[in-house]
Amino acid sequence: MVADNVLKPIWEITDDDWESAMSVNLSGAFYCARAAAKPMADAGKGKIINVASGFGLRGGRDIYMYCTSKGGVIQLTRVLSFSLARYGITANSIVPGFIPTIDPGAEINRTLPQSGDFLPTGKLGKPEDLGPIAVFLSSDASDYMTGEMFILDGAGLAAGITPTGHAPVAALEP
């Protein structure tokens, strides 16, 4: 997604902006699941793993399109899990928190934290942190799990951290 299509007051969001964000984040997950579901059902088993975002579980200032589309991915995963379980297919979502994956100069970085000092873990995540959970969800070890969200965010949601661009003033150590 282009950074200038992420942070906008609602009155500046064009129909094209909205459709583009929904296409990339939500429709992409839907079309992939739709293409994979029938062959998986025919095989009697399968694993669908979607990647959402902590922003799909809460709001973010002027991040309408991203938050809405990632929330839709979480709900799509729930519907897939319920609907496809009878065919031996599981559907789960990985919900990353603050994991820098975009150009450091991008406009969205104005509201994202630059360090993990405010998180209980004291650090931001890395893209490679998602690999082990994806491997687990792809394996037989997760056969009885479906419709779940696996949150990887340094305990940000558990701590009530909100993405406002300001870290809470609270000591992380006793």
Residues with a known catalytic role:
66
For the four alpha carbons of 158, 124, 25 and 58, in that order, the dihedral sign comes to positive
Q: Distance between CA 158 and CA 173 in Å, rounded?
A: 16
* Nearest alpha-carbon partner for 24 in 78, 70, 81: 70
Is 125 within 8 Å of 155 (Cβ atoms)? no
Task: Count CB neighbours of 18 within 10 A.
Answer: 15
